[in-house]
Amino acid sequence: MGEIQDQPFQLSFNASLKDDFQGSRVTSDGGLILVGELDERLGLGALIEQHLTDSRRGKNTQFPFADLLGQSNYSRLAGYEDLNDAARLSQDPTFRLIGSEKIRDRGAALASRLQTFETEMLGEEENFAGLAKLDRALIGKAEPMESGYRTVLDTGSTEVPMYGEQGQSASNGHFESTYYHPLLLFSREGDCLGAKLRPGNVHSAEGWEELLLPEIERQQRMGKAVGFRADAAFAKPEIYEALEEVNVSRAINHLTHRLAGADNDRH
């Protein structure tokens, strides 16, 4: 009766559930298993191979490109934004379970350094456009599940402050800082359908047609009526004309324009 039993504690109400403690297999990120399952069902690995380029040559590569990108994504989803966390997470049971099919049965560790992958491999010029295509293709996997005959596209810009000498960043007098000024396109469900990185000194609507018009065409091919929503920076005659030509309704927040104008006057 008093002997220590080195066996998992099995629950009575459900025999398939067991409670056990093994120090080498403890994790606080078990929820990522569901994310890994979602990626599998959406075919993320195949989409990565289709849209992104692996510049490594030869067979001396420990992990596939898709596994490295997955490890990078899972780390950020779990709140580990610092690349220095990669060494510790490479030993985490959950990350080893979902991070790479190549090591699941062997119990080996994941890549302990992701800096080279993110700054050199993923950061290559051809992969910038590939990431945008990958994002849109992934969202497209879920679109057939959505009901409705109408969609609303929401466009806007944001500022990303930069420090040091970052390529294509620029100073903006209004915000009194140096930053990037990306343009973003969202669906009404909140999915990011596209993004364009821009210098900090461009107009908020700069490059709108590159993001908006292809997405309007894509949605209309699916038989959906399209609406467009934006702030006053997009209250431009050329945008109105383009929307009318493709039969898209619009909602522009002109109040934002008046407030922004007053703010500019103060500065």
212 with 250, same domain: the answer is yes
169 with 260, same domain: the answer is yes
pLDDT at 2 over 50: no
pLDDT tens-digit map of 221-231 = 989 999 999 99
pLDDT of amino acid 141: 84
Name the token pair of 8: 């998992």
Residue 151 counted as domain residue: yes
The position carrying tokens 């009575």 is: 12
Residue 29 counted as domain residue: yes
Average pLDDT, the chain: 78
The position carrying tokens 């800082």 is: 177
**pTM for the predicted model, two decimal places:** 0.71
pLDDT of amino acid 257: 44
pLDDT at 189 over 90: no
Residue 221 counted as domain residue: yes
pLDDT tens-digit map of 108-133 = 556 656 767 777 788 788 888 899 88
Residue 90 counted as domain residue: yes
Tally of domains within the chain: 2
Phi then psi dihedrals of residue 94, to 5 deg: -65, -45
108 with 58, same domain: the answer is yes
Closest listed residue to residue 70, CA positions, set 111, 30, 29: 111
Overall residue count recorded for the chain in this entry? 267
Question: Residue 21: helix, strand or coil by DSSP?
Answer: coil
pLDDT of amino acid 184: 96
243 with 153, same domain: the answer is yes
Terminal C-alpha separation, the chain: 80
| 139 class by beta-carbon count within 10 Å (0-12 exposed, 13-18 middle, 19+ buried) | middle
The position carrying tokens 């990431």 is: 131
Distance CA 263, CA 67 (A): 47
Question: Can you give the C-alpha Rg of the chain in angstroms?
Answer: 24
Contacts of 51 (CB under 8 A, 6+ apart): 130, 131, 133, 134, 137
| Per-residue three-class SS string for 201-249 | CCCCCCCHHHHHHHHHHHHHHCCCEEEEEEEHHHCCHHHHHHHHHCCCE
Q: Comparing 50-54, 148-152, 159-163, which segment has the lowest mean pLDDT?
A: 159-163
pLDDT of amino acid 13: 47
Instruction: List the Cα angle 211/215/219 in 5-degree steps.
Output: 170
153 with 117, same domain: the answer is no
Residue 105 counted as domain residue: yes
Q: Which domain holds residue 196?
A: 147-266
pLDDT at 5 over 50: yes
Q: What percent of the chain is modeled with pLDDT above 70?
A: 71
112 with 151, same domain: the answer is no
Average pLDDT over residues 126-152: 83
pLDDT at 256 over 90: no
Residue 126 counted as domain residue: no
21 with 97, same domain: the answer is yes
Identify which has the larger pLDDT, 95 or 135: 135
pLDDT at 155 over 80: yes
Identify which has the larger pLDDT, 266 or 30: 30
Beta bridge partners of 229: 154, 251
Buried b or exposed e, range 69-84, using 16+ CB within 10 angstroms: bbbbebbeebebeeee
Beta bridge partners of 172: 177
pLDDT of amino acid 225: 94
Residue 4 counted as domain residue: no
Distance CA 131, CA 126 (A): 9
108 with 170, same domain: the answer is no
Q: Comparing 10-24, 108-122, 123-137, 152-166, which segment has the lowest mean pLDDT?
A: 10-24
- Please report which confidence band the pLDDT of residue 247 belongs to, taking 50, 70 and 90 as the band edges: very high
